[in-house]
């Protein structure tokens, strides 16, 4: 019995199902004279050996199952077992309790910058939309363990503060979180799975429909038709409706209710508008992007995952958003959507607004539809008109003469420089 793991590691006899979740196996280190003497190689090899021993996935699952079944504890990072086998992640509970509150001043700063970015993008005939994805802790507070609910709450929540500031600055916001809570008692099928952390396929379909309707009205366009014909009710859950439980790596499935999966359809592209989009979001958007919904409704379809990794179906591989030219990307996009669920509002909007604010504050190269290009003849005549106006204003003329003397150039040269500056700023 003791020798079986070593035999399995050396000559694999049985097929093993790998563990689920994000983790790394320590690499086997090459020994040197120094590392053997100081013991560091032995420690590294021991760590590698422990993670590659035969039957390790099975042994881990046995250990996790005992922890879950006997001690009501999940040996998965951040997973909380709620009442009646409802599973949560701790960050969602922190969010509704206000334990991750950023503070009013920090949120005010972000939303103030967002208002500037929204204004500049609107001037360029581009749509900026903020979206609050639903949160499982807000939706199912009755299943959260009492030991968390009974702890003192923070002074406020990021969700409440962001909502208030968006209203203050009149920024466009779709709040799926509040909408889902309002539908909770009347909705036909589950909007959340019992053992998953993301919204259900039904919730995703309704959210996609709402996003299409909003963009159509905001941009006065007719997008690809979208809907669903009935539902499928399989006996097994489809991804990602069991994602938290999968990460727990148990021997046996956790009992759960079945889910409804809408039979989604998209209309013909003929005569329809498919805008270019940048969506900056957390993992909730994978349910829209990964299912191909986004490719059907958007033309240039960009997903900036946490504003760190950019995905586009037309690319051979993802790119780092830091390597992309922000001004150029904004110039190509028609619609910019920034989405987060409650658990990620403490890092919302992922640094995207800061970067957009910086480039839009310094540059006027973003194409403005209200400012069409004009020929040089028109430009020259307008500058001459401004020069005449300045020359007729004695106080202004005096200041131009003083600047000309300070720079050591003629009055006419300085007059043209000032008039050109005025013309360019009027254009901006």
Beta-bridged to residue 302, according to DSSP, are: 278
Given the structure tokens 């790119």, which residue do they identify? 319
Question: Are β-strands 309-311 and 319-320 bridged in parallel, bridged antiparallel, or unpaired?
Answer: antiparallel
Q: What pLDDT is attached to residue 413?
A: 76
Spans of all domains in the chain: 4-83, 90-362, 376-427
Beta-bridged to residue 85, according to DSSP, are: none
Ranges of the chain with pLDDT below 50? 368-375
In the DSSP assignment, the letter for residue 415 is: H
End-to-end, the C-alpha distance of the chain in Å comes to 78
413 vs 398: CA distance, rounded Å = 14
Q: To which H or E segment does residue 304 belong?
A: strand 301-305
Q: What pLDDT is attached to residue 267?
A: 94
Q: To which H or E segment does residue 139 belong?
A: helix 136-139
Q: What is the pLDDT of residues 386-400, one digit of tens each?
A: 888 888 888 888 888
Q: What pLDDT is attached to residue 392?
A: 81
Q: What pLDDT is attached to residue 34?
A: 87
pTM equals 0.79
Q: What pLDDT is attached to residue 257?
A: 95
Question: Are β-strands 173-175 and 309-311 bridged in parallel, bridged antiparallel, or unpaired?
Answer: unpaired
224 contacts: CB under 8 Å, gap ≥ 6? 212, 266, 267, 268, 269, 272, 274, 296, 297
161 vs 164: CA distance, rounded Å = 5
Asked if 279 contacts 304 with a C-beta cutoff of 8 angstroms, the reply is: yes
Q: To which H or E segment does residue 117 belong?
A: helix 104-123
Q: What pLDDT is attached to residue 4?
A: 86
Q: What is the pLDDT of residues 36-71, one digit of tens each?
A: 899 988 888 888 878 788 888 899 999 999 999 999
Q: What pLDDT is attached to residue 283?
A: 95
Q: What pLDDT is attached to residue 385?
A: 78
242 vs 256: CA distance, rounded Å = 9
């Amino acid at each position: 019995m003791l020798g079986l793991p070593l035999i399995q590691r050396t000559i694999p006899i049985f097929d093993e199902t790998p563990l689920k979740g994000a983790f790394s196996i320590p690499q086997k280190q090459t020994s040197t004279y120094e590392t053997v003497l100081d013991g560091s190689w032995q420690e590294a090899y021991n760590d590698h050996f422990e993670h590659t021993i035969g039957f390790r996935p099975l042994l881990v699952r046995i250990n996790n199952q005992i922890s879950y079944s006997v001690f009501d504890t999940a040996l998965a990072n951040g997973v909380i077992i709620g009442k009646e086998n409802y599973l949560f992640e701790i960050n969602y509970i922190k969010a509704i309790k206000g334990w991750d509150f950023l503070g009013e001043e920090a949120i005010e700063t972000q939303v103030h910058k967002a208002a500037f970015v929204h204004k500049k993008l609107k001037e360029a005939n581009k749509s900026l939309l903020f979206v609050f994805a639903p949160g499982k802790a807000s939706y199912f507070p009755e299943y959260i363990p009492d030991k968390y609910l009974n702890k003192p709450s923070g002074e406020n929540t990021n969700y409440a503060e962001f909502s208030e500031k968006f209203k203050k600055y009149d920024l466009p916001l779709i709040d799926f979180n509040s909408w889902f809570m309002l539908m909770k008692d009347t909705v036909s099928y589950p909007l959340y799975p019992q053992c998953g952390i993301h919204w259900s396929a039904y919730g995703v379909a309704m959210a996609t429909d709402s996003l299409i309707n909003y963009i159509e009205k905001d941009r006065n366009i007719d997008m690809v038709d979208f809907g669903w014909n009935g539902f499928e009710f399989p006996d097994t859950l489809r991804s990602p409706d069991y994602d938290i439980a999968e990460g727990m790596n148990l021997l046996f499935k956790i009992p759960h209710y079945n889910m409804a999966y809408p039979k989604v359809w998209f209309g013909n592209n003929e005569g329809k508008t498919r805008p270019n989009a940048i969506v900056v979001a957390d993992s909730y958007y994978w349910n829209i992007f990964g299912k191909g919904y986004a490719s059907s409704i958007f033309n240039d379809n960009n997903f900036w995952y946490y504003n760190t990794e950019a995905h586009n179906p037309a690319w051979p591989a993802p790119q780092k958003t830091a390597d992309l030219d922000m001004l150029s990307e904004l110039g190509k996009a028609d619609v910019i959507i920034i989405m987060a669920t409650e658990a990620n509002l403490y890092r919302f909007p992922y640094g995207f607004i800061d970067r957009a604010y910086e480039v839009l504050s310094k540059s006027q190269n973003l194409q403005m539809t209200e400012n069409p290009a004009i020929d040089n003849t028109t430009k020259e005549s307008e500058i001459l008109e401004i020069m005449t106006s300045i020359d007729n204003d004695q106080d202004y003329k005096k200041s131009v003469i003083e600047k000309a003397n300070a720079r050591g150039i003629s009055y006419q040269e300085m007059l043209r420089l000032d008039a050109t500056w005025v013309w360019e700023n009027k254009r901006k």
